[in-house]
Structure 1
Amino acid sequence: MGIAVAGMDSLSDRASMMREALQKSQTITDNVVSILGSFDSRLSALETAMRPTQIRTHAIRKAHENIDKSLKSAEVILAQFDLSRQAEAKILKGPHEDLEGYLGAIDQLRSNIRFFSSNKNFKNSEGVINHSNTLLAKAISKLEDEFKQRLNSYSKPIEPDRLFDGLPNSLRPSSGSPGNQGEPGGRGPSHNHSEHQNVDLETAVYTPPTLIPPRIIPLLHDLAKQMVRAGHNQQLLKIYKETRSLVLEESLRKLGVEKLGKDDVQKMQWEVLEAKIGNWIHFMRIAVKLLFAGERKVCDEMFEGFDSLSDQCFAEVTASSVSVLLSFGEAIARSKRSPEKLFVLLDMYEIMRELHSEIETIFKGKACNEIRESALGLTKRLAQTAQETFGDFEEAVEKDATKTAVLDGTVHPLTSYVINYVKFLFDYQSTLTQLFQEFETGDGKVSQLASVTMRIMQALQTNLDGKSKQYRDPALTHLFLMNNIHYMVRSVRRSEAKDLLGDDWVQIHRRIVQQHANQYKRNAWQKVVF
């Protein structure tokens, strides 16, 4: 009992102590809250007092930032003004002393115009832009003069000897005259022609001359590029055409090219005309493979990056020279036909065929369409005229009415002429094959050539039959036919004509020769016996 009472007293004391402790803690808490409340009031008052200072500080910082930004903008603008002054000074000096610096000044001027155009808020931008544009126009004008002066300075006609140096050895003239190369002469088919030689020429190496020094091309390219950027394409084209076309024409004139039309051709003696045709063939090779090829190279390098402008410049530079060359070919193709012209027509047709792929390559692009079409048109016209001349020859042989008498019944001049003519035809087998391919239809191309050859031989035989009737003595009639047909057979057997006409033709005509021989003997002996 006593122990229980003592325990209760102890618990009561502890509870009393805890209440006192809690009361003290609450008092402390209240005091702390009161202190913190006073701090909050003081901080609010302090913040209120500091706010104007903070606002002023932010404004000052912003002002500093704006000042820095303005200073930087001013520095950029001042730098542009400084660059403009430097560019203007170089432009006013002109391009002669320092062309590279002059071109750099033009680029800088364009950069300044772009800068001030994108900074229109600068109140003087408009005035600066106008001044720069005026200065740029003057700079480009001086640039045009510089381009013209330098192009003129380095554009010189090419001497014939330099052109000949670019030819294969087989085509280089031995006596300084291109006309001496395979120059035809005599009656009709008497000039040298070889299909093997033509194959060699097709694979031969030609070296175009250097028309403008390579070190100058990049400089002219830079000048041209500035003119194109300024929109002065037409001025550039005009300058280039006037300069280079005259130089090209003079190079051809020095070579010996003449401007000849149909009327000029009609007035010429055949020997003179034949020589000029031989020269023309040579000139065509030189013009296309050397001069025009060199001119195309210059255009492509000078106007690199401006393909359409390059094509247009090249077309306009070469148009006049091409016209002079092709007009002579047209005059020949349209002139009065005659048998002796067949072989030169075939020669001209051959050179146009030989140059076809190069003409297509060199005269590429839309701007050169007319030139390509003119060249192709001449090729077709030459082929057509050659074919018509071929037909005329067949008819002329059959209707030849020369009264030349062969008193002893030997070979008639017509026979030797026609056989010689036919022999020369076989130097042009591939050419004639190509020609028939363009204009004929039906059997194989070789059989067409054989058919034409047979018709010519038959026309000759028909004419000889007529001429044989001029003899009053039957023995001479048969002797004449025997000798002439024997000459035909012997010539065919010794030439490529045998492969074309065939063994049957040879055997048939050998029998005809034998028949006339027998008739000649019979008639000759009759005169002796009776």
Structure 2
Amino acid sequence: LEAAMRPTQQVRTHAIRMAHENIDKTLKAGEAILAQFDLTRRAEATILRGPHEDLESYLEAVDTLKGISRFFSSNKNFRSSEGILNHVNGLLAKSSLKIEEEFKQLMTTYSKPIEPDRLFDCLPKSLRPSKDDEDENANQSDHPSKGLETAVYKIPTLVPPRILPLMNDIAQQLVQAGNQQSCYKIYRESRGSALESSLRKLGVEKLTKDDVQKMQWEALEAKIGNWIQFMRIAVKLLLTGERKICDQIFEGGNFNKDQCFAEMATNSVVTLLSFGDAVAKSKRSPEKLFVLLDMYEVMRELQPEIEVVFEGKACSEMREAALGLTKRLAQTAQETFADFEEAVEKDASKTIVQDGTVHPLTSYVINYVKFLFDYQSTLKLLFQEFETGNETESQLAVVTTRIMQALQNNLDGKSKQYKDPALTHLFLMNNVHYMVRSVRRSEAKDILGDDWIQRHRRIVQQNANQYKRVAWAKVLQALSVQGAPGSTGSSTPADLNSSGVSRAVIKERFKAFNTQFEELHAKQSLWIVPDQELRESLRLAIAEVLLPAYRSFIKRFGYVTAPITLHDLLLIFGCCAELHPLASIELISRLYHMIAVPELQNYLYFVCPLKHLSFMLTDGVAPKTLYFGEQHFLNL
């Protein structure tokens, strides 16, 4: 019987155990359901209060409701599951709207424009504007981008760090709720508006090519300087900061952050680049070359940051726009460089310098070339943009040599406008000497080389010799009696001196010498040799030719002239007074007693004309001492 009943007992035991297990499961399921109801009540209370008081608790309540929704979705056999699901989903819909409002509120509250002073404080000290900027800008000699390689920029805090995680949580909730487009729109509008306002406060404005073309050069130059500063601030500070904010707000989850950032920054980037485009496309002129190089430099400098800030396919259009501007600036700068060379050679200004000094074109071109050498590295990059070879150094030398040759060709043409050949050579001597001296004192020496310097020094010497020959030929001719009338046998013996030269001829030559010298003095006292060393060497060269001829003439024929008169003595006194004012009375006394000696009488007679040598070839101010006159008088 026991054996027969044993299977029946086992079945009953198993049934009882299963019943107990089912009861336990039911109780646990009931407890779980009750717990979900309890969670729902608490979450509902938080949702109804809204996110303003405690955003973190609010977001936790939303997560709780999402868990409840998943629970009842997987337990649809519970007869009240559909009702509770509808209730929970309704709460989630309400929470989504409130979260969106909170996100908008947060973005609006913490998306204020940055004041310019705050941005300037984030710049390296060398780039910060000072109170004396206006004065300093008028006398900037240093190349603006020197030393910027190691400059440190401090990215400003655009949104408090404690707020960014909350924004990220909200953004994730909105995306999970299917409201990503609303989320992206709020971000674009708030951050985009803040960025545009920050740039406006700085002074950024959108200008067209026509706007640029209408500006006076001084105004345009100032705006270009500002634009360079704005570009650095925009890329290195504002856009870099905005990119970090975007990455933190949309960190994790399924966000299209590159597209969001691109759409947010587009208007600001277009405004910034539009000015650069307008300048690059405006009418070319030589003075624009340096600002074009400055603009090209800053775009090259910012290229690495642009690549990082605008990474991703969505931002490719802005990367390409920036790169396109860099290439346009390079192209315009190169064309302007070529225009300058042509403009130098074809400069048709009719204005000539009446005194033979350095022409304004010469100083302009030399200063232009010297300034170019502040941009050597930039010019090499410029040539690399369009050259296939690596000979950028020689390319710069070739272009510089062509500019200098164009200047010399133009000066040769201008020199032909002078009616006086002596002034022609003086003009060329002054200008080529200025070119040589300037090159020797600048970096152009290393580019043009010693051969160029030596070749042009020879040109200076050739023109100095030609000036000396042409200007002083008639004066020296007056001191020669060869071929003069009466120097042959046509005169009577009484009229001839021991050299067989007519006294009348000698007197005529004395008179001619004085006349020629006075005329030369009147004319050349208006001429200028601005370089002191060149001026002194020229004076010495003239003296070395003129004084020996004069002494020789006096030695041979000095006794032929009439005795010195009181008028001559007074002239001598005037000359001596200029030389030695304190010794004038003593000198006049000594000279008066010398009149009895015929040779000294005639020698003294010609001291006065030679005093004019000191006034010739001045630097624009008549000297107070009479160098040649003094030297000649002391030889007495």
If the length of structure 2 is used for normalisation, what is the TM-score?
0.72
Alpha-carbon deviations, 1:224-263, whole Å to 9, x = none? 1211222222111100110011111111111121222212
Aligned residue among 416, 422, 443 for 2:363: 416
Indicate whether 1:513 and 2:478 are aligned: no
Distance 2:191 2:260 in 1: 9
2:431 corresponding residue in structure 1: 484
Alpha-carbon deviations, 1:343-373, whole Å to 9, x = none? 0000111111111111111222222111111
Distance 2:433 2:242 in 1: 57
Indicate whether 1:239 and 2:186 are aligned: yes
Change (3 A) 1:495 1:53: closer
1:192 corresponding residue in structure 2: 141
- 8 Å contact kept, 2:384–2:390: no
Distance 2:254 2:203 in 1: 33
Distance 1:86 1:307 in 2: 30
Change (3 A) 1:391 1:305: same
Q: 1:171 offset after TM fit, Å?
A: 1.2
Distance 1:232 1:55 in 2: 57
Distance 1:176 1:247 in 2: 30
- Secondary structure of the structure 1 residue equivalent to 2:147: helix
Look at both structures and tell me which one has the larger radius of gyration over its CA atoms: 1
Distance 1:354 1:65 in 2: 75
Change (3 A) 1:306 1:68: closer
Q: 1:467 offset after TM fit, Å?
A: 0.9
2:575 corresponding residue in structure 1: none
- Secondary structure of the structure 1 residue equivalent to 2:287: helix
Change (3 A) 1:477 1:55: closer
Change (3 A) 1:43 1:343: closer
1:122 corresponding residue in structure 2: 78
- 8 Å contact kept, 2:171–2:249: yes
Indicate whether 1:269 and 2:216 are aligned: yes
Q: 1:73 offset after TM fit, Å?
A: 1.4
Aligned residue among 113, 138, 148 for 2:104: 148
Indicate whether 1:62 and 2:9 are aligned: no
Distance 2:203 2:77 in 1: 67
Change (3 A) 1:277 1:426: same
Alpha-carbon deviations, 1:261-294, whole Å to 9, x = none? 2121111100000001011111111111111121
1:92 corresponding residue in structure 2: 48
Aligned residue among 209, 217, 226 for 2:156: 209
- 8 Å contact kept, 1:224–1:302: yes
Aligned-residue CA RMSD (Å): 2.1
Runs of at least 5 residues in structure 2 that lack an aligned partner in the other structure: 479-636
Distance 1:104 1:503 in 2: 80
Distance 2:415 2:209 in 1: 41
- Secondary structure of the structure 2 residue equivalent to 1:210: coil
- Secondary structure of the structure 1 residue equivalent to 2:354: coil
Q: 1:107 offset after TM fit, Å?
A: 0.6
Q: 1:61 offset after TM fit, Å?
A: 4.2
Q: Which moved more, 1:322-331 or 1:336-345?
A: 322-331
Distance 1:417 1:136 in 2: 75
Structure 2 counterpart of 1:119, which letter?
Answer: N
Aligned residue among 337, 355, 367 for 2:284: 337
Distance 1:181 1:236 in 2: 49
Q: 1:181 offset after TM fit, Å?
A: 9.3
Alpha-carbon deviations, 1:296-315, whole Å to 9, x = none? 22222222225853322322
Aligned residue among 169, 173, 179 for 1:222: 169
Distance 2:7 2:125 in 1: 101
Structure 1 counterpart of 2:304, which letter?
Answer: S
Distance 2:17 2:287 in 1: 104
Distance 2:393 2:129 in 1: 35
Change (3 A) 1:479 1:496: same
Q: 1:317 offset after TM fit, Å?
A: 2.0
Alignment of 1:102-501 (within 5 A): 102-175=58-131, 180=134, 183=137, 191-194=140-143, 198-306=145-253, 309-442=256-389, 444-501=391-448
Structure 1 counterpart of 2:176, which letter?
Answer: R
- 8 Å contact kept, 1:224–1:236: yes
Distance 2:363 2:349 in 1: 14
Distance 1:435 1:424 in 2: 16
Distance 2:158 2:186 in 1: 17
Change (3 A) 1:221 1:433: same
Runs of at least 5 residues in structure 1 that lack an aligned partner in the other structure: 1-41
Alpha-carbon deviations, 1:146-191, whole Å to 9, x = none? 01101111221111111111111111111287xx4963x5xxxx74
Distance 1:307 1:392 in 2: 54
Distance 1:140 1:519 in 2: 95
Q: 1:67 offset after TM fit, Å?
A: 2.2
- 8 Å contact kept, 1:308–1:365: no
Q: 1:465 offset after TM fit, Å?
A: 1.1
Change (3 A) 1:265 1:212: same
- Secondary structure of the structure 2 residue equivalent to 1:198: coil
1:25 corresponding residue in structure 2: none
Q: Which structure's residues are more often helix, by fraction?
A: 1
Q: Which moved more, 1:259-268 or 1:50-59?
A: 50-59
Distance 2:411 2:132 in 1: 46
- Secondary structure of the structure 2 residue equivalent to 1:436: helix
Distance 1:43 1:206 in 2: 95
Q: 1:134 offset after TM fit, Å?
A: 2.8
Change (3 A) 1:504 1:306: farther
- 8 Å contact kept, 1:182–1:192: no
Structure 2 counterpart of 1:133, which letter?
Answer: N
Change (3 A) 1:493 1:312: same
- 8 Å contact kept, 1:300–1:307: no
Q: 1:99 offset after TM fit, Å?
A: 1.4
Alpha-carbon deviations, 1:180-212, whole Å to 9, x = none? 4963x5xxxx74342xx6342121111111111
Q: Which moved more, 1:71-80 or 1:462-471?
A: 71-80
Distance 1:361 1:72 in 2: 56
Q: Whose relative contact order is higher, 1 or 2, with alpha carbons under 8 Å and at least 6 apart?
A: 1
Task: Report sequence identity in percent.
Answer: 71
Change (3 A) 1:468 1:199: closer
Q: 1:485 offset after TM fit, Å?
A: 0.9
